[in-house]
């Protein structure tokens, strides 16, 4: 069974929700990325979303866009990212990471340039479980969705607050793994407050699909968790983590990894408390 499907089946049975941290591959370097994945799993992450650096990101705010540019300037390329993940999977073949899904946030331009078949084969070989392709419209996703499913990869698609409801239903019907609900209109980035209609929108979407629904964009605090936990199957935290990487230029790799690990551990503890209440 695909690791994403297995994870959500297990969490549903346990009455728990998933914590999904996002990190940019190669920021500040790929050895740190590998160390972070291991640390995040140890600190309570259920799944890791890995951003593939791209020079023209579609929906990413300044924090994540800057991390992409830093990674590209330092020479991070797709082949290096897949090799890092493949090595990490091999080195942790008997540990907790064996059951933790890894999903990539990747522009369709990268998939197209690589060639769909080649990209998917390399992703599977590396140990990737799912793809989030934010610039691929649902009308054009059938080919990728079909080939990905044939290789036991999941194609995770996005619904936004401005998505018309008939289109949201179509997106849900063509999605596998889980449905990514974007919490706010616009780009990624930390926010103090989330839209008051967010929970209602997600609650409606839940009536239209049996897929797990994970909420991302702007989520960074335990208060956000308490607001969204009643309607979410998973919560995605991105910019809050990536910003810590940008602010840690003078720290050693071990210090950076430890700092981000502590932050994720606090979020995991808050989510556990909510699930137990």
Domains present along the chain, CATH in parentheses: 3-276 (3.20.20.70)
Q: 214: which strand partners?
A: 180, 234
Number of Cβ atoms within 10 Å of the Cβ of 45? 24
Per the CB < 8 A criterion, the answer to whether 170 and 205 are in contact is no
Q: Is 56 a catalytic residue?
A: no
Radius of gyration of the chain (CA): 17
Catalytic residue among 5, 27, 49, 129: 49
Q: What is the pLDDT along the chain (277 residues), one digit of tens a residue?
A: 899 999 999 999 999 999 999 999 999 999 999 999 999 999 999 999 999 999 876 655 678 888 999 999 999 999 999 999 999 999 887 788 999 999 999 999 999 999 999 999 999 999 999 999 999 999 999 999 999 999 999 999 999 988 999 999 999 999 999 999 997 654 444 445 566 788 888 989 999 999 999 998 778 777 888 888 888 999 999 888 888 888 777 889 899 999 999 999 999 999 999 988 8
Residue 267 CA to residue 157 CA, distance in Å, equals: 25
Burial (CB < 10 A; 0-12, 13-18, 19+), residue 250, is exposed
Q: Is 211 strand, coil or helix?
A: coil
Per the CB < 8 A criterion, the answer to whether 84 and 35 are in contact is no
Q: How far is CA 72 from the centre of its chain?
A: 20
| Owner of token pair 């209440």 | 277
Nearest to 258 by CA among 37, 36, 44, 71: 36
Catalytic residue among 5, 29, 39, 60: 60
Q: Is 275 a catalytic residue?
A: no
Q: What is the pTM of this model?
A: 0.93
Q: 22: which strand partners?
A: 49
């Amino acid at each position: 069974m695909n690791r994403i499907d297995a994870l959500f089946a297990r969490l549903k049975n346990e009455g728990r929700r998933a914590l999904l941290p996002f990190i940019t591959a190669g920021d500040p370097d790929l050895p740190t990325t590998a160390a972070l994945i291991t640390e995040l799993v140890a600190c309570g992450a259920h799944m890791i979303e890995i951003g593939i650096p791209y020079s023209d990101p579609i929906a990413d705010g300044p924090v994540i866009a800057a991390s992409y540019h830093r990674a590209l300037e330092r020479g991070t390329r797709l082949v290096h990212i897949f090799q890092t993940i493949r090595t990490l999977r091999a080195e942790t073949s008997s540990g907790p990471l064996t059951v933790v899904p890894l999903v990539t946030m990747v522009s369709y331009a990268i998939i197209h340039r690589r060639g769909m078949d080649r990209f998917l084969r390399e992703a599977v070989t590396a140990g990737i479980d799912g793809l989030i392709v934010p610039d691929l419209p649902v009308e054009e996703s059938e080919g990728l969705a079909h080939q990905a499913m044939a290789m036991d990869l999941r194609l995770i698609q996005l619904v936004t607050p401005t998505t018309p409801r008939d289109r949201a239903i179509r997106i849900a019907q063509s999605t596998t793994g889980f449905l990514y609900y974007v919490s706010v209109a616009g780009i990624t980035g930390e926010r103090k407050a989330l839209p008051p209609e967010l929970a209602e929108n997600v609650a409606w979407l839940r009536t239209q699909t049996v897929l797990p629904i994970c909420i991302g964009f702007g989520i960074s605090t335990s208060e956000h968790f308490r607001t969204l936990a009643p309607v979410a199957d998973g919560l995605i935290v991105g910019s809050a983590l990536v910003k810590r990487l940008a602010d840690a230029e003078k720290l050693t790799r071990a210090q950076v990894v430890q700092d981000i690990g502590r932050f994720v551990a606090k979020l995991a503890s808050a989510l556990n408390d909510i699930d137990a209440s």
